Structure 1
């Protein structure tokens, strides 16, 4: 039995739920298919900075999420090797000036509820089988409902918001990234109950950088829960699962500041871990289809940007396509422009994540930058802007600030020697200059490598299985083998 809608979305979580809510609010007939039944857990750092929390507000999910009693975190404290500390507030995004850390079992339910409240038809336990095609365009999907009965739905637009192992990306021939970088770090985390709940410390996002390892603490939901997270070398993820408490004790010994903060935390959960977080860009738009969220772009979670970018991408996609869904030519041009806008929005944080995922000791220059920031008594937003998306990495770590940090590090003797500190700083400066050059170029689907940031030839996740469909007589299956064309600066849909 064939059905019809304006947009069909595969995946109801961050990007899919947000796109559905905004499309439905604009009067579009939206059907969302998700193979999960909610609540459903998801591997995630769970953190949303103020700009991401504001996206929840814009889609109508924030009030219900706040009802789960998460701790609102308006503070950031960053510590480097026990030598320098900065305490500052987050820069506000709209009316929101705090972070939230909400488990996905709570958060994703409210994303689905917000999409339904806006008018979207969200169907849980429904599995996509294939994308259907007509005249070289995606024209819908075939899927199985919760009983396994097969159906077909036609749509003007198919959106894949089904994560890193995207079935939609595989079905449209865009699964292989045209650009990517191997991760160096893994993540290992657990939850517990915080005795400091209700204090300033209990409402602070912490980050400890000691040696080549990073520790985090995020006040969470429901209060007084906190999430504690380590990001060491990627191989640590497997080691952690082999000896959970031994690993945890060793990491706390490596991070004495974190050990002091988490002392007294009770009801510890078991550890969860992953060492597979390689970053990538996939070609994310084509005739009648788009890839949103992790389906199209993923960056290392060390910087905690994935959730915000998925929500942002879903909203912007909805805003761009809603007015032109009935015009295939205009729709495809709009999709292309959206993809370029997403890349411009995300490429600086992609490089930020690549730089942060390199496992090496804390830079003496960074330590001195943090020391300088820590002298301020007004606690105004500053270095945290690079996480909160108040400013980009080049804007926060300006050339003047990097030069001042180098001067202080040599004068103070922060590094092992003045010459070693200078050599390391010059190597880092070369990377930062490469990132700046790319941001100025604003190339579309560029596969150029920024040395020192990117480590190519990642091992992308294997796609979810998609069962090949038998074409109907009126169907022409002309899918491109790859949509990853590079350095495409002449496409009229993406000109500046």
Structure 2
């Protein structure tokens, strides 16, 4: 009898297993893959995610093989903002969610999954987790009242547990086996294509948005830089007609400087792509089971928070499971506490924020004015970055009174930015699909 069986051994699963094992629980983690191995991912980790890595005890290992930075540049229609996530806001968030702020770092990383996932699962094993790779779960075991009590593998093995944790991603076997449907689905999303280039110097990450297109550049492992381009899902078919050509075309439309840097570099790997970024929520827990990571919720890649949120949720879930297994509270009360933090008003507001961004609508005049005035206010720029990556509450930064005060000065600071000269014409241009012609030419 295990205290917990965790299905899925990557970020969320390895992390929740480690936290439970450090509580003294007997934990089995299983995964159908073998490690190290890659998985389709944009693999960016913001400072709160890096802080969770530090709390797990693996930050130094990640830092040893992955470039680390604190500042990031965010460019909206040519308006560049450079800043970092304030340490005090990070500490506030950790105190609120976890009751303490140990292990905080303001660094961020773009770490490949074959690197990160191996580090995390090795750390879990060192903590006392039993790990079985190349293991496929055939079915969940349930008792007479429907409570999940264990798993059966395709190899015929049967393992019993007090709780089964589904950390098995968007296409979660646990969710399917239990018939857990999706809720609050948001079908409007982005498509994204990316690859890895050598010959680009290590530098802080940059994230660009122009019209309905976006791009990002981030230094990663093995001396390479990840370059990512994305746009609204309704443009995906046109983009796919010529992925490489449209990739460079998109970079040129977004930032000529960045496009020139990439054109002078050497692509070292194939292009990777994802078309289905539709957001959803699932029920978090039930009799004998808990979901964490992408198994319980998913958001578009446009704010790159998948891993960061998976690590956060793993710690929250493990703490709740520990309170139940340790007798501090009954199961329902303990798991309701987990659900309350995961589905708070703040979390709901951020979910809406990401889903709205994922529609990739051209920025409005007032939004551009806001970004323009932030250029002269470093404290508010840093607070905006913290808000954008879910460290500070969306409702606070975008509170009407705060936006009004910022935009009151924006009228002057926006005058020197060209996009304001003929905003209506610019807005119309940003709505047009630049890949339609390429798609037509590719079918002739």
Number of aligned residue pairs: give it. Answer: 405
Structure 2's unaligned 5+ residue stretches are: 91-102, 427-444
3-state SS in 2 of match to 1:15: helix
Q: Give the match for residue 459 of structure 1.
A: none
Q: Give the match for residue 87 of structure 1.
A: 82
Q: CA deviation at 1:194?
A: 4.2
Q: Give the structure-1-normalised TM-score.
A: 0.76
Q: Give the match for residue 356 of structure 1.
A: 357
Q: Give the match for residue 188 of structure 1.
A: 193
* Distance (whole Å) between structure 1 residues aligned to residue 327 and residue 104 of structure 2: 36
* Distance (whole Å) between structure 2 residues aligned to residue 130 and residue 250 of structure 1: 47
1:112 aligns with 2:112: no
1:30 aligns with 2:22: no
1:267 aligns with 2:267: yes
Q: Give the match for residue 138 of structure 1.
A: 148
RMSD of aligned C-alpha atoms? Answer: 2.5
* Distance (whole Å) between structure 2 residues aligned to residue 405 and residue 188 of structure 1: 35
User: What's the CA shift string for 1:279-305, capped at 9, x where partnerless?
Assistant: 111111111111111111111111111
Match of residue 159, structure 2, among 153, 157, 170: 153
The answer on whether the counterparts of 2:189 and 2:300 sit within 8 Å (CA) in structure 1 is no
Single out whichever of 176-185 and 237-246 deviates more from structure 2. Answer: 237-246
Q: Give the match for residue 453 of structure 1.
A: none
3-state SS in 2 of match to 1:229: strand
Single out whichever of 369-378 and 7-16 deviates more from structure 2. Answer: 369-378
1:229 aligns with 2:228: yes
Structure 1's unaligned 5+ residue stretches are: 422-496
Q: Give the structure-2-normalised TM-score.
A: 0.85
Q: CA deviation at 1:308?
A: 0.9
User: What's the CA shift string for 1:52-75, capped at 9, x where partnerless?
Assistant: 0111111122222223x2111211
Q: CA deviation at 1:237?
A: 4.2
The answer on whether the counterparts of 2:350 and 2:394 sit within 8 Å (CA) in structure 1 is yes
Match of residue 66, structure 2, among 55, 67, 70: 70
- In terms of fraction of residues, the more helix-rich structure is 2
3-state SS in 2 of match to 1:381: helix
Q: CA deviation at 1:150?
A: 0.7
CA separation of 1:416/1:186 partners in 2, compared to 1, >3 Å: closer, same or farther? farther
* Distance (whole Å) between structure 1 residues aligned to residue 363 and residue 334 of structure 2: 43
The answer on whether the counterparts of 2:76 and 2:209 sit within 8 Å (CA) in structure 1 is yes
User: What's the CA shift string for 1:83-113, capped at 9, x where partnerless?
Assistant: x211112323454111100111111111111
3-state SS in 2 of match to 1:384: helix
1:5 aligns with 2:2: yes
User: What's the CA shift string for 1:182-229, capped at 9, x where partnerless?
Assistant: 1331111111124322xxxx1x1211111111111112123x311111
Q: How does 1:200-279 map to 2 (within 5 A)?
A: 202=203, 204-222=204-222, 224-255=223-254, 256-279=256-279
* Distance (whole Å) between structure 2 residues aligned to residue 184 and residue 324 of structure 1: 37
CA separation of 1:416/1:142 partners in 2, compared to 1, >3 Å: closer, same or farther? farther
* Distance (whole Å) between structure 2 residues aligned to residue 269 and residue 258 of structure 1: 19
User: What's the CA shift string for 1:375-415, capped at 9, x where partnerless?
Assistant: 23679722211234330222222313433565567775765
* Distance (whole Å) between structure 2 residues aligned to residue 238 and residue 253 of structure 1: 19
